[in-house]
Chains A and B, each alone.
Chain A
Amino acid sequence: MCNSVLQVDVIIPTQTKYLDLIGSIGEHIAKDIEHFSGDREALAYHLNLVLTEATTNAIKHSALMTPKDTVRITIHIQDNELNIKVYDHGQGFDLETVPLPDFDQPKENGMGLYFIRTLMDSVTYTKLDDCNVLEIIKHL
């Protein structure tokens, strides 16, 4: 009757030194998920990467606002769905206008969102009243 539920809620300063911590949480969760029959090592790397990229974006978007700004990250697992939300207080951007990387003429930037979109099942970016939220869903 009771499905296994995991909820993690973390708030960090907008500093890149916390990326390791956030990525590590993703890795640990992947290694502990119950009833997962896929490649656990690959999932661990992918969650580390997706959380790192999403948090980096949020820090970059927030950095110019106030030095005491924070980024909130929530991870929720229920009914074989993993849901990540990353909240930033920046000006926001239009996810739909972010292009795919040009593989024939690769550039140094612009690969982060590509990783998130490629490795996860759904990505949305929504502007709320007082913040923006990048929501990422992965079916386990």
Chain B
Amino acid sequence: MKINLEKIKDCSILFIQEERIDAHNSGELKEYILHLIEQGEVNIVVQLENVRFIDSSGLGALLSGYKNAAAKSGKLALVSCKPQVLSMFELTRLNRVFEIYADLNEAFENET
């Protein structure tokens, strides 16, 4: 899975460079996030602008990251979800679990 990582303030921003997150690459995403958290990077924003498809395993990978970040007093937020991708979070009520922002600016405005 192609992911670009940027650090802004004390936050790790993951730019997912894939159109599709499914059972073929979600394991890699999960491991990537867990590795970050193990290194102490517990405040994570996942930017999903390029993602046009996510399945249950992709939601599971993000949920795993959310739980592990929260367990270390961090957080994992989502930004720039396409409507169809957002609808998957709504269908599973995971939109009530994750903080979901329109874009990075909104996410950081909310931080301050």
**Bound pair: A and B?**
yes
A52 is an interface residue with CB less than 8 A from chain B: yes
B80 is an interface residue with CB less than 8 A from chain A: no
List, in ascending order, chain A residues with CB within 8 A of B92's CB: 101, 103, 106, 111, 114
**What total of A-B pairs shows CB separation below 8 Å?**
65
**Among B24, B56, B64, B96, contact of A115 (Cβ-Cβ < 8 Å):** B56
Please state if B24 and A20 are interface contacts (CB–CB under 8 Å): yes
Could you give, for residues 31-73 of chain B, a 1 whenever the CB lies within 8 Å of some chain A CB and a 0 otherwise? Answer: 0000000000000000000000101110111011000000000
Chain B at the A interface: SS class: helix
Please state if B55 and A56 are interface contacts (CB–CB under 8 Å): yes
How many residues does chain A have at the interface if contact means C-beta atoms less than 8 Å apart? 26
List, in ascending order, chain A residues with CB within 8 A of B1's CB: none
List, in ascending order, chain B residues with CB within 8 A of A90's CB: none
| Interchain nearest-CB distance for B78 vs A (Å) | 14
Q: Which residues of B line the A interface, CB within 8 A?
A: 20, 22-24, 53, 55-57, 59-61, 63-64, 84, 87-88, 91-94, 96-97
Q: List 6 A-B contacts (CB under 8 A).
A: A16-B23, A19-B22, A107-B63, A109-B56, A112-B57, A114-B56
Q: Which residues of A line the B interface, CB within 8 A?
A: 16-17, 19-20, 23, 41-42, 45, 48-49, 52-53, 56, 59, 101, 103, 106-112, 114-115, 118
